[in-house]
Amino acid sequence: MPEAWLSDTDPQAREVYLNLFRAMTPGERVARVFELCEFQYPGADDREVFLRVAARRLGRDLMIAAYGWDPDLHP
């Protein structure tokens, strides 16, 4: 997990957060990603949430090729 986005967080709080995340199973981590996406896009249906999560890992070109979905058009 990139820690740069936590750079404005108190170092002790960041360490607690990262330790909690590290202790999660892979399934729990995936669930948290979906929850965060749903929080950021409350009106999104299940497919949009899936596409947004996938776009974080696959990148724009592969998303367009695999799903016909351009993340740049859905900020």
Reduced to 3 states, what is the DSSP secondary structure of residue 66? helix
d(CA 12, CA 1): 17
pLDDT value of residue 24: 94
pLDDT value of residue 1: 46
d(CA 14, CA 59): 27
pLDDT tens, N- to C-terminus, the chain (75 residues): 455 666 777 889 889 988 998 999 999 998 888 888 778 888 888 898 889 889 988 989 999 999 999 989 987
pLDDT value of residue 5: 60
d(CA 28, CA 13): 20
